[in-house]
Every structure is written in C-alpha cells, then in structure tokens.
Structure 1
Amino acid sequence: MSSDDQALILEFVTESRDHLGHVESQLLQIEANGANIDVDLVNEVFRGIHSIKGAAGFLGLVTVNKLAHSLENVLGLIRTRELSPTTSMVEAMLKAADTLSELVNNVDASNEINVDEHLQILDAIASSDVLDITLDPVDFSVSPPSDEEKSDAVEAIDRKEEPVISGIVNAGATASPETSIRVQVGVLDSLMNLAGELVLGRNQLIQALNTDAHVGIEAVASRLDQVTTELQEAIMRTRMQPIGAVFSKFPRVVRDLSAKLGKQCDVIMDGKEVDVDKTILEAIGDPLTHLVRNSIDHGVERPDVRVAAGKPANGTIHLKAYHEAGKVRIDIADDGGGIYPEKLKKKAVEKGVVTAEQASRLTDREAIRLIFHPGFSTAEKITDVSGRGVGMDVVRTNIEKLGGTVDVDSTPGRGTTIQITLPLTLAIIPSLIIQSGEERFAIPQVNISELVRLRREEMAKRLDMVKSAEVLRLRGSLLPLVRLRDVLGFVAPSIATTSDDSQLTTNIIVVESGQQRFGIVVDALHDSEEIVVKPLGRHIKNAPCLSGATILGDGHVALILDVAGIAAHEQIRSTHDEVIASKGEELATGEADLQSVLLFTNHPREHFAVSMDVVARIERIRTDQIDAVGGQELVQYRQSSVPLLRLENLISARASEPQNWVYVIVFVISGKEVGLVAPRLEDIREVPTNVDTLTFQEVGVQGSLVLADQATRLIDLFKIAEKAHPEWFANRPKPLTEPGKAPVVLLAEDSNFFRKQVKSMIEEQGYVVFDCEDGLLAWNRLNEEKLEIDVVVTDIEMPNLNGFELCQRIKQSNHWGHVPVIALTSLAGASDMQRGMDVGIDDYQIKMDREKLLTSLHNFTGAKAGSNQRRLQPA
C-alpha cells in the first residue's frame, strides 16, 4: 500500500469515528421518540452512515460498505416515515453500529470479518412486509474469569495495560490509537502568535548576551517567562477534550443493563462541555463505566420496590462534571436504596475485612468506605454483573494512578453518590519541591492538604506515640505520621551538616490519597514548581513510593513521590485503625475553637496573620516583576493586572526590607483579585479564636494573639483594601439606616471572636442584629421573646444545638418556616452542603469573607428593606 493510500485510509478512519461517535446516542433518541419521528435527527444519522458507505466503497472496504448500506436502507425508510422505529428495530441498528465501529477500528482486517447475520436482520427490517422483528435478547453475560486470568489482569493493571478477560470484548484490543485530535482554530492562532513572541524573545536574549554588561537581560528573561507560561497553557488547551465524549456512551449502558436486570432507569448528564486532558479522558472511561453499572445493579431498586417505598418506578442515574479548585470533579449519583452502614459492618466482619471490635468503632462514613476494600462486595449473590469482589478497589487504584481521588457518600433509602476528583492534566503537574537528606523530591500539589511547621517547644505537646505509631495532634484529631528519611532508607545526617533551623523546627506535609490522610515529615521545603513528568528508569521503576521523575530548573533530577504508594508501603490504613481506637480517650478533654491562619512577617520583628478562609492563593514573585502605574503597584498575572497592597502604607507597620523575591497573598473583592505583599511566610497554623481585640485597635487590624512568645496581629484584608481603595466598594449595597425599617438578623455563633466580628460587619450596614452564643440559645430566644426576624445567620459546629439542627427547627416551625438561613462555615465539603440543603439551609458563606456575606444578606433582605416595619413583639 502506498503512502498516499495509507494517508487516505487514516483520514477515512478519523472521519468515520467522528460520524459514529454520536450514532449511539442518536439511535437511542430515535427509539425514545417512537412513532413521533424527528426527521432532522434521522437525517443526521443517515448522512453520517451514507458518508461512511461512500468512502468505504471508494477505498475497496467491501464489508464496511455492505453493512453501512444495509443500515442506511433502514434509516432511509424511517426518515420517509415508511417505518416506525421499535425497540427491537433500534436494537438491531445499535448492534450493527457497534460492529461497524469495530470494522472501522480494525480497518485493515475488515474485509475478512463476517457480518452476514447483521445484513440479514437489517434487510428483513427494510423489506416491505416485515415492519417489526423480534431479536434475541442482548447477551451481556460474562463467564467468571479463571485464577490465571485474574492474575494476568492484575499484572496488566500494574503495567497500566488493558486486561483481557474471557467473555469481555476489549472499548482498545483491536482499535488502533487515535493519530489525530481536533483543535479549535483560535487555539492554533494563539500558538502561532506565541511562537512569534518566543522568536522575538530569543533574538532579544541573544542580543543582550552579546553586550559586555548583558544589558536588559533581566527584562528579556521576564518576558520569556511570561511567554513560556502562556505557551504552556495554549499547548495544554490543544490536549483538552470535552468529557461528553465519555459520557455519551452511558445512555446505552443504562438502557441495556436496566433491561437485563428488569429495572427502569433514566440517565441525566450535566457538564458534558467540561474539558479534560486527552490522556485522562481515555483512562477514566472504564472506571466510570464500572461505577455506572454499580449504580444500576446495587443502587436502583426494581420498579415494584421503588413504588412500595413511595418513589417513582423509574430510577435516575445522574452524571455531573464540573471544575472545582483547579481540578475536575465527577459525581455519579443514584436515587436508589443507598448503603446501610450496619449491613456493611456485618458483612465486613463475616468476610474478615475488619474485626468485630474494629467494626463497632467505625463511624457510618468509615463503614461506607469499606466498599473500597479489596475483595469486598455488597452484592447479595454472585451474578455475571457483580458480586465477585473485584471492582471498587480496582476503580480506586486506577483513579489514584491518575493522581485523583474517589469517595462515596450515601443516605440509606435515598441514594448514593460517588465523587471522583481528577487533575486537569498529567503532562505538567504543579508540585511542591521538598528535601530529605541531600536529595530533593516533588510532591504533586493535588495530594497536599496543608503544611504544618512545629517549633521545638511545640513538639512535646503535638507529637505523640499511639500503639507504636507516631502521630500529630491536629485540630482535635490524631494524624498518622511517616518520616520520609525512614521510608526511603536515608542515613541520618551528622550534626555538623545540619542547619540550626532544621533542629528548631519540624516540617510536616499533610497529604491525602483517597480516604488516607497522613503527614510526611521532611527536612526542608523549597519552592512550588510546575514539573514535567518523566518515566522512571527500569532499575527503580518498581519502587513503590515513587511515580516518576522530573528535571528541576537548575538542571538537577528530582524524583516524584507517590503518596498512595507511601501509604500502602507504610500501612497507613492499619495505623489509622489503631489511632481510631484511642481517639476518644486521647481527645476527651477537647480543644478550644480554632481558626486556620497564614503567618507572615512584613519586617523581621513584626508578625502578622490573615485568615486562610479568605486567601484565594499564594504566589511567589520577583520584585522586578512589580510595576507602578499612577501610584498603584501591580503585578501582571495570566494576562491580567493584580493590584498590590503593602501593610506599611495602610497600618502602623515597619517597612519591609529590600529583597529579590516576595510572596503575594491573593484574595478576591467583588470578583477582582487583589494581592497583599508578604515578604516572608512563616507557617499555616490553627490558632485559638480568643483574640485580644483591645491592645491593637486600628482599622484593618482585627486583634492580636501571642504565638511562640510573639505578638501577632490579625489582619482584616477587606478593611485594608477598603482603606486603600474606597472606590472599589462604591457599588456595594447601600447601608440600611432608615429608622424603623432595618431588617433584623438573628446570629448564632459560639466563638466570641467570630460573633463580634460578624455582628460588627453586619451592623455597619444598618442591620439590627440579635446575637446568641449557641444554637439552643438562639432557638429559645426566638420562642421566648417572639422575635420577628428577616434572616438567620448561623455557625455549623456549636454545642447543644448545631446549625443543622437549628435550621431544621426553624424550617419546620409554622411561624418562622419562611425565614432564610445562611450558614457560616469554613470551606464546607459537598456532603455538609448536601445535608444543609436537606434541612433547608438557603446559602453557605465563609465566616471571614465580608463581601460575599453582605451580598448574601442583601439578596435575602434588600428587596424588602424599604418596607420592613416588623420589630419586637411583646412576649
């Protein structure tokens, strides 16, 4: 075959895959429409099959041509309304389309494949005297794999290959890999422009290097850095593909499996336009298919059972994709029977997964997560669909290999949601560079939860041993620790080579992988870098704690740590079980209310903190990147300008000392990013909320507290921004100060500090605030004083009566059921938000985010602020 012929074949395959990509969903829609034929839809399918038929005939692909021709005949009769599509008819067309896809993917051998059965059925349907035909039911049965096949499959997974098990047709065994990818013209134009900018930068660099003093080299380097960043982003966009390419196959999966199991299921898909790296998209298909099948098999009940439980006969599988915190989140939810924790505990004990004692200590959420344990299944009996105990653990393993996580949330009787979090790309990974011994390593930021630095005087209080396991006391829980030196087998350094700083502090990186959360103790922390992943050499490719390598900016090689591998190697899960056993005894006394803050210095002798709840991100920049325009300092970031603030210009603070690099604490005001210059970062820590609000009274300073014998001032980012740029706040909702017409807010917050801060910021806007120290006090005050209120603002975690319980009582009452409830929280998880929605919470707001809280209050009360006459009523 000549190179020209080969090129034509490749073009045919690419175009045919494009035509067939939507045929399945289109045929399912034709089936759903029934006699109400959508001619435009049928025409679209007809044209695609017609194009394949014509091209196949030209290229001598006889079998493809014949099958496409027969399929085209049936579609032609449907579009002229001579045939009315039935389930059996569409079933035959779906099977033919499947086979046509296989022929295209294996085009070189397509002429040798026998498709006579398909041709006979399609021709029978197309004949004028046969308008409906009964086909044999679809056979989904899969013979149980042998022990040898199981072993081969596990080895294939370890090699990141597709396992082949008898009875299963292997979505890559015959298909050749995609050799092309569709890219929008706009992205290509951007790449061309950036390539031109790169050439100009190179020329400027050569010219600067040729001068004696290398004049202008810093400006050229800065420009090259910016162009490289933009070029990297543009190239990544060429690899991004909509996740709808994977979602599109699930209506067929749901349809066929529901029919096989005697169930009725609908599928809803949201976020099909969300883009994911092509590599991740190809790898996530099989795990998602398994999860969707599980939702139908284990989750959705049979129609009679659903009707008896007061549910609609049709179950629903809801697939949703969206971006969250720089990652891709995929939720697979069903409205089925849910998972019963007690049943799982019992089955886990029967199978020897946990002991009876361990099971008794598991919370409901921990019990539900047992489904990820190897060999564990919730199926009542083994079928060809499920029950062999090879499934959810493999799903989790494959997702973790992609740098993602998977979790489960379930409500008995109401349904189950599987939550998958994935990185946007695998090619370039934002990572933290750390050091252990003399070597540097990279930890993907997707696995990093937070950084903890302990000073020598804190170690005795916060580090402990529980049943031979080293743990860290962190916000009321015990976190298992591993020391990277021990994991990697490094020899401890001599005292002479150890810096004083490393002797005074312990650096701990809190990491997460799936349900495993633990701390890694390292010797030093370096910068964050976007690393390019390289494969490991064969001599260390089987190292369980390493996932790859990268070349750092200085040319040195750094190995990439595999967080999931470290957890498995150090048996973190079993250690965690031991920690759970003693958690109640260790933490019986409890701890004071805490808040997470970022500690930094503006001058070496002055210490400051800002609430992490309002920090969007932290950037490290060179001081020569800071521009000054019209008296305003700013830095260019991703084609936008971020205005900068300096403490010494806004509060009583010493000026920072000159240095080459600074940090910028980025926060958001009215949708616009603003940065506070922080010359030196110290730590992210949990500190008490009993803040001294009297010693340092100044606009922009919330108060002070003593940390490590140092007075530390807590900065109000929004106040200092308002002080620097009052014009930014001109469009905020106007203060509601007209006498007798101010909306009334009931505030429930058990922390004195937060209660005072929130009350003050609300009252500044003209609201009347009744504040209570606890949810129960707030409820009692409502009933005893007969308060007429417009909105409730409540903390979630409170003694006696928490925010969920308070909201539930309010919403169920006849008198206050209409009152909106805003929950104050610190970055609530999806499960908390779902629980809040269930009890009637109307909105979630972060405690210290002044702008969003005030906007939410205005949205709930602003419309009636001018006419509100309600005040206190007599008891």
Structure 2
Amino acid sequence: MDELGDIIQEFLVESHENLDQLDRDLVALEQDPGSREMLSSIFRTIHTIKGTSGFLAFHRLETLTHAGESLLSRLRDGAQQMNPASADALLAMVDTVRKLLESIEETGGEGDVDVESVIAMVTACIEDPSAPKAEAPAPEAKPAKPARSRSAKSKAPVAPEPAAEAPKAPEAPVKAVEVAAQAPEVPAPAVAAAPAVAKPAAPVREPAAEESGQNTKRSIADSSIRVDVDLLDTLMRLVGELVLTRNQIVRGVNDISDPVLARTTQRLNLITSELQESVMKTRMQPIDHIWSKLPRVVRDLSGSLGKQVALAMEGKETELDRSLLEAVKDPLTHLVRNAVDHGIETVEERVAKGKPGQGTLTLRAYHEGGHVIVEIKDDGAGIDVERVAQTALDRGVVTRDQLARMESREIISLVFRPGFSTAKKVTNVSGRGVGMDVVKTNIEQIGGTVDVDSTLGKGTTWRLTIPLTLAIIQALTVECGAERYAIPQVGVDELVFVDGQSGQAIEHVSGAPVYRLRGKLLPLVRLDETLGLPVRNSDRDVYIAVLQADGRRFGLVVDRVLNTEEIVVKPLSGRMKDVGVYAGSTIVGDGKVALILDIASLARRSHLAAEAAERAQLDQVDNRPRGGSIERLLIAGIGERRVAIPLDMVTRLEEFPVERIERVGSREVVQYRDHILPVIRLASLLGCYDVHESETVPAVVYTERGRSVALVVEQIVDIVEDHIEARSDLDDDGLTGSAVIQQRVTELLDVRRAILAADPRFYTEMSEITNSMVGA
C-alpha cells in the first residue's frame, strides 16, 4: 500500500467520479433503453474500473465489476433489452462498488462488504432476461455514505435509518442537490427518502462530530477536484500582478513613517508570499512524471549495446513547475542515453578493470538554493581529458596556449561546443557531434545551467540546475545611465565595486576591458556600450556584476546596484526580441518598467575581452622569444575557408538579425545605433557561396572618427596572438596573401578593399575630416 499509495489514491478519485456519472447515466438509460452510445459509455467505465482493480489485486471488486460488464456487454450488443430488473441490478452493483472503494480508502482492503448477493442479481438478469424486477439486497448495518451512493431509482427501505448515518450526514445534502439538479425526472419518493437528514445535517451535526472526537476527515473523492490548466495559468498571472503591486506598496511605505501602515504592509507581504507559494504548488508536478519512462529507455538501449545497466532513482518526488518538465524531458533523456552508450562499459571491459559486470546509472533530484538540481551519474569509463584536449586542438576549437591555461574541468566543458564529439564510432545513439550543445542550449533557455564532472575510470556526473518556475524569479536590479535593468539572480556570482580612490582600475588589453580580480583577469562587458547608451567618461566608481553563463565567467559594468527582489517575467514583443540581449521585462518596486538582461547573450559578447584576458595571462607566465613576427588576428570562417583580420581593425563584434539587413540601391545596410551602417558580405567579396541559414549573422564592425562599416562573416572562429612562421604572398581579389595559423592555411583579408566595397567614400571622407581638423 505504501509503494502504490499514489496509484491507489488516483484510482479512488477517478472511480468515485465515474460512479457518480454512472448513477446519472443508468437512470437516463431507463428513459432511453436503446441508446447504444450510452450503453457503450457505461460499459467502458465499468471496464476501466475492473481492469485497474485487477492490476491492484482488489479481487472482489474485480469479480463484481466483471459480472456487471458481462450484463452490459449483452445490453450493448442487443442480446437482451434493458428492463427494470437490469437497471436495479446495475445500480446495486454501483452502490456496492462504492462501498468497496470506501472500505479500501479506510482500511486499505476490501473488508467484508457483501458482493455475492449483487453478483447473483446481475447473473440472474443474464440467465433470465425476462425475470420480474428483483429486490435489491438490504443495506448493511453500517452503510458508508448512503446519501452519496443512492441513485434516483433507489428503493425506500433505506429511508428509516437516518440515525445510523449521523456521522456521515454532512455530505448527504450536497449529493441530494446534485442528483435533483441533474435528474429532474426523479419520482418524489426517492428524493424524500431521508427528510430528517437532508437540511439540518450540515449546520447542526458537524460541530457535534467534532465535540465527540469523531473523525471528520473528508474522503479522497471529496478532497480533490479537477481544474483546467488554463485556469491555473490565469491564476498564476494574477498572483504575478499581485506580487508587482506588493513590491510597489512596500517600496512606497518605506518612505513613510507610519507604523500602522508599516504593520499592515508587512501583513500584506506575508499573505502575498503565502498565496504565491500556494499557487505555485498547484502547478508543481513530481519529476517522476518524466523519470517513469527512463527505465524502459535504459533497458532497451543497454540490451541493444550488449551492456548490463542498473538504474537507480533518488528524489523522484521532487517537484518542478509543469511548464519546465517538458523542457527538461529531452535533455534528460539524451544524457541518460549518452551515459549508457558512452559512459558505461561492456560487461567484459568492466570485469577486466576489476568492476562489477553490471554498471549503475543513478538519477538524483533535490532542492538547493531555490533551484532543482538533477544529477545523472554513471560509474563508467569517465571522460578522457587528454582525448578531449586533442580533439579540440585538431578541430581548431582552442589553441595550445589556451589549453595550457585551462583546468581539467574547463577542458571537459569543451564537449558542449557545437559539433564536438570524441566517439570512436558513429551509432544511432551518438557520435555525430550533436546533442550536448543542444542539451546546454535547451537548459539555458529556461534559465538553468548544465555542468559536468568526471574522473577517468570511475565515472561521470552531469548536473542540471533548473529554476523552480519561470513566472516569478529573484533578480538583481541595476542602473545604467537613466535606465534600470534586472539580472536573474541565478547567474550572479558576486558584486565588485571599483573605487577610484583605492587605486583599483579597469585595464585594457588589446583594446578590450578587463579587471584584475584576485590575481586573474576578468573579461568585462560594458552595458552602456552594448546597449548603445551614452558612455561614461571614467572607469572609476562603477560596479561590476560578476556573471556566469554559456561556460564563461565575465563582468558586467554598470553604474549602480539597487537591490534584489522578486520580479514577474513578462514576455517581450517581437521587435524587442530582435535586439538579442533581453530575456523579458518586468515592473520594479517603484512602478517603472525594467528590461531583464539575457546573461547568455552577454556572455557571448564577452568573447573578445575573454580572449584578450587569456592572452594577457599567458604573457605574464610565458615571454619566451620565438622566431617570426607576432600578430594579433581575428579568425573568421567563410564556407570552408578561414580568413584572418588584423585585430586593430576590429572595433567590436556584433550579431545582426537577418531581417534587419536592408537594401539601398545595390548595397546592403543595417540600422545601427541611430546610424545607417554599410554592410559587405565577405563571402560575396571573396567569391564564396554564402551558406549561412541562421536567423542572425555575425559581423565585424570597424569604426574610425565616427564612421563605421560592417563586415559580415559566417562565424567567428577564434582570436589569436601568434608567431606567424610561414607566409605566402600569393593573393587574390580581396586578399593580401595567406599564412599558417594554428597549423592551418589561413587567408589574410585585405581589410581596406573590404571597407571600400562596403563604403567607397570611407577613406575619402576620413581625409576630408583630417584636413579640416588640421586647417582648424
């Protein structure tokens, strides 16, 4: 009973609902005995109860419903006709089923409820369909909720027993009203069966029951109702609005010295929090809803791979918002399949390593810090760090210098890069280089994170951090210029204040801002520059929010940090989504609208500064002279070709939505920071076929004296500072030559030619501006 408690509870709730419907349907069937549709519906309901009771080993209930099913089958198939005897037999069966259910609820078993006499009534109707109307069996000495189970055709013999019903009486009027409302054709005697109980029961006897110490606990059927999901969503939205109003009132009361109002506001704050928590609970579902399908996945996959895998589950009762369960299902399934395919070895391999032949895959879920943590842990081979590093080098994902600065955990995280795979062979499960990047993207889209920890030879643990809900979140409110912005608290590691008087300062490496935090250079993103706001003249007295997202740790420079508070996430319009740095909007405590920043998008924009920080760190520990010239280059991908752009010709990296690129005459332009920016696609300039099919395009923006152009590429591959050992002067239109960079032949872009292709007057107007400045 303990293990099947939830299943039995669901069975009881649904069965009671079905029985109430059967009462109404059987009475209506007497008025229209030839209704094949109603007979089929009644048959399906009884069949469902029979099947589930058999599964749960309630054999007497199964036998009783099987007899009723046999009679209904004959009525449905036209083998015999519905008559008063059949109706009474079926209604008696419904009443007895209800008594069995109540016994199961109270004692866990079927008790001594008499089913044989009812089965005999039903069997008699089958053997002799023309028999006269049979008498229903007399009720037991202690009937369970007779008013609830009484049908419109019930017999009068139960009427003289109101006193025996006293403990259960409060439910009688409710059911009586329900029957009367839905079956107005019921004869008067049936409704008036218990006049002494019908009206005074609810207000009089319920207190008496409490005084006498009797148990007034509601039944399972009466303690739960079915609610439409849309209604819950509406209720959640209303609670969100209440939270916003609460925040505004709390903010306003803090400015008023009124103790009475302060106490009232405190009470409002408490009630709102409790209401919010209660409504959120109505949307929560145990993670077992998606875990329940994984044993079959593990069984089938391990069998096809010739492996033995035991699946253990811990914390399957841990609850998540229902809207997040669906988002987590596919990533979780992929990680489980990957663990069975890649992680756990075959029986022979495990035995050779001294391990048990059967591997173990453990799923664990628990609450921590306002989030749900889901771990997928295997005791398999683990991830080979050296192999991951070599694969990353071979594919040009990182350089040797970068690898030298990376910890093992950072190297393992490279498996989340698109197209990355260390599989020795391609199977129908894995090895094609897709999957882990999708897992990471899907989890980050719901405001979560994914991490991996592995020990070679011992196993791997994948850890998903998922918010409890997406509707209301904790956020850090900051200010930049005259605007306010909200940063989801889940991505904030710490806050740093750059005090101008203490000698702290923001440094610049290769033109990119960095901050020296506990001996390490932290790449920075300036929020004012990113959003096109007026730029501060000083790097002093600013705040740095240290953020973690997209596998990167970086700092966001803002003017002020205001506070942390619960915010309600509001969706953005289509136009705002195109900007690419906002995840939503909200209304903060003072009633102003604040945009919610997309940390993952900001992390991608920190790429330039991150590379500069890595180079600076490397320079501090390795200044060994080497032959060849030292050049700083941005490596871009265009089709199968790699093109190098001098870093001093890169002002910033942008990502433009494709639909924002417009044509003016024969040229392409894009609206950029209140200017019309000329655009040139390097694929067209170099005679390549443009295969870019995504919704956005990366671009290199070069700015000089207020004039800018954008060079569109297919992807940003890397930023390198390297010794160019070999160079070729063989050039082509748009190129100045080629060189070996990262062990690959890379073409050197003629940036001047590219800029002129985008804006033929770029350098002419630069000269005019320079001459005018000299003349002045």
Give the structure-1-normalised TM-score: 0.43
Computing the radius of gyration over CA atoms, which structure comes out larger, 1 or 2?
Answer: 2
Give the structure-2-normalised TM-score: 0.49
